[in-house]
Structure 1
Amino acid sequence: MDVTLRQLSVFVAIADHEGFGAAAAALGMSQSSVSHSLASLERAVRGELVRRDAPVRPTQLGDVLLPHARATLAAARAFGAAASARHHTGAEGAVTLAVPPTAAHGLLPRLMRRWREHIPQVEVRIFEGFAEEITQWLESGMVDAAIVIDPDPVPRGAVPVATDALEAVLRGDHPLAGEDSIGPADLLDDPLLSTTSGAEGQIRALHALAGVPYRPTQRIRELTTLLSMVEAGLGVAVVPSLAGSMLPGDLTLVPLLPRLERRLFLTGPTTRPWHPNVTAIRDVCERTGPEA
């Protein structure tokens, strides 16, 4: 089967941008060239890969082949970077990194400063997503690296970049806002607003450790929405301490006991060799140590 990287790039761009025109703009190609490349790929695989109505979506065959296209392109990028590294001193070029929302707000700016200081020739491009999306993005080749939370087992080569803990989010005028620490039982008189953006498993575990039933009155995906609801006096919430950088001025974090920590790791994919720039940013994190 005669398939080129250019054809795969066109296919992925059309799927990501949901249209031929947007894909052409992203790739710096004409729309007719994009259409021709996709048609050539479809002839090679003997089937339609996308539906031609707006927005453009993959067909059933396209859904099957898209992860393979992403993984092939990711491997090709890593191949090129590894080959280039033989002729240059130090890492350079771009790498894509997926991060969960709390890490994006509370941890990523500090990591980005470290990488810029130690390896300024490496450009780190960020994809923010939820925990269940990030693993899929990493293994499919949509991103080159990811920050993952409490992986089990820890991927080979992964390095810890931070540790945080679950804390209660309260309004400043809440009776418990000034306490040094509280327990989940202390919040039973308040409506519990829960996030589904990656920390709910740990929140359940915390309630189990404390012997308190986990009964959220609302389950909210977006962390910013959750904080807005607490700010409006609609309840209290439990979030990772890294979310503290997202809090409006009239909300406060109070440590929860028993203390339940989360460990965040930087890792590359488990099913293919790492991009050399992923190894480079990992090595910086390993030398400088994790955030507290």
Structure 2
Amino acid sequence: MNEADIPMTIARALNLIRETGSVSEAARSLNVSQPAISKGISQLERRFGMPLLQRGARPLNLTDEGQIVADYAERAGLLQKQVLQNLDEAANNRSGTVRLGSFGSSASFQILPRTLAAFARRYPGISVEILEFPDGELKQVLEDGIVDMAVMTVPQEDGLDVIPVTTDKLVAIMGTGHPLARRSGVSAAEMAEYPFVLTKGGSGPMVERWFAAEGKMPKTVHTILQVNSIVALVEAGLGVSIIAELALPENSGNYRVLPLRPEAPRSIGFVRKEKSARSASVERFWQFCLRFDY
């Protein structure tokens, strides 16, 4: 025992003596011998150089210093009760938080609403907090522990657990009156001829890689985060753009969607560090996603 420790059995005994006025009653409640309790109290008194019991009184009373030790036992008991309650709530899915990274519109529009709604119906006590980051940053965010797991473009790397959800691809969009609008598909060379609206969202780096693979560079005139804003600029004839197909809002009829030549597919899924779960709630959400019908 560390010299600074206060034996919890003795602290509890003092709390019981405060309630009952009897060392023997305290010993009986704790299933400890009366001499052991008396010896423990005497040792504490010698250590601190002050009495903890008013021994001349019947029933026994505590000194002010004895009250301090008894209060310590009482607070420890309340804390233990709260800890046990919190653990019980976590074990029975009545509390907990999951920090879920998301790469933006594709996940927010198509994947997360139905998944999170179904999870909330089954586990209403567990909250899921969505934190959005560019797709290229999500792996580092996972490594840093800022999020517990992420819905993202699946990286081709070891050390990660992956739940495949769907496949997606990049598509070109332009106003209905644009010279490219009647094509059956568009190339990087064709898209590079016109003012370009680049997405700052999750698919932005993928768009740039698609152009670079064909030896082209877009004539970027606007760099926009929100998909709806990109579509509005395209509909206004202020440029063409490339975004993820799953991120497309409902087509208003004022813009055209064309496939890319060559195609630019990607796999989307839930990703976490291999066999990593910060809490029972996080593991519960992972297992739910693993079994969910997408």
Q: Fold match, TM over 0.5?
A: yes
Alignment partner of 1:264 is 2:268 = yes
1:240 to 244, 265, 287: 244
2:289 aligned with 1:285, yes or no?
yes
Matched, 1:172 2:176: yes
**Match runs of 1:82-121 below 5 Å:** 83-84=87-88, 87-88=91-92, 93-102=96-105, 103-121=107-125
Query: Helix, strand or coil for the counterpart of 1:151?
Result: coil
Q: Is the 8 A contact 1:155 1:267 kept in 2?
A: no
Label 1:156 to 1:135 Cα distance change in 2 as closer, same or farther (>3 A). Answer: closer
Q: 1:261 to 1:277 in 2, by over 3 A?
A: farther
Structure 1 residues 273 and 287: CA distance shift in structure 2, 3 A: closer
State how far apart, in whole Å, the 1-side matches of 2:219 and 2:157 are: 29
1:158 lines up with 2:123 in the alignment: no
Rounded Cα–Cα distance in structure 1 between residues aligned with 2:129 and 2:175: 35
**Structure 2 residue aligned with 1:216, among 214, 219, 222?**
219
Residue pairs, 1:48-87, within 5 angstroms:
83-84=87-88, 87=91
Q: Which runs of 5+ in 1 are unaligned?
A: 1-78
Which of 198, 211, 229 is 2:202 aligned to?
Answer: 198
How far is 1:227 from its partner? Answer: 2.9
TM-score, normalised to structure 1's length? Answer: 0.59
Look up the SS of the partner of 1:141 in the other structure: coil
Cα distance in structure 1, aligned partners of 2:256 and 2:116: 26
Letter in structure 1 aligned against 2:206: Q
Give 1:263 deviation, angstroms.
Answer: 1.5
- What SS does the corresponding residue of 1:227 show, helix, strand or coil? helix
Amino acid of the residue matched to residue 215 of structure 1?
P
Say which SS state the counterpart of residue 214 (structure 1) adopts: coil
Aligned pair in 2 of structure 1 residues 215, 178: CA closer, same or farther (>3 Å)?
closer
1:126 equivalent among 118, 124, 130: 130
Give distance in 2, aligned partners of 1:276 and 1:216. Answer: 49
Does the 8 Å CA contact 2:165/2:270 hold for their aligned counterparts?
yes
Q: CA deviation at 1:271?
A: 9.5
Q: Deviations over 1:52-99 (max 9, x none)?
A: xxxxxxxxxxxxxxxxxxxxxxxxxxx9999547852x5753312121
- Higher Rg of the two aligned structures: 2
| Cα distance in 2 for residues equivalent to 1:183 and 1:288 | 37
Call closer, same or farther: CA 1:246–1:106 in 2, change over 3 Å.
farther
2:192/2:218 contact within 8 Å kept: no
Report the 3-state secondary structure (helix = DSSP H, G, I; strand = E; otherwise coil) of the residue aligned with 1:126. strand
Kindly provide the amino acid, as one letter, of the partner of residue 202 in structure 2. G
Instruction: State how far apart, in whole Å, the 1-side matches of 2:85 and 2:222 are.
Output: 43
Segments of 5+ residues of structure 2 without an aligned counterpart are 1-82
Aligned length: 210
Which sits farther off after the overlay, 255-264 or 240-249? Answer: 240-249
Distance 2:116 2:91 in 1: 26
Residue identity in the other structure for 1:134:
L
Alignment partners' CA distance in 1, 2:110 and 2:205: 20
1:25 corresponding residue in structure 2: none
Amino acid at match of 1:216: K
1:95–1:124 contact (8 Å) kept in structure 2: yes
Question: SS of the counterpart of 1:124?
Answer: strand
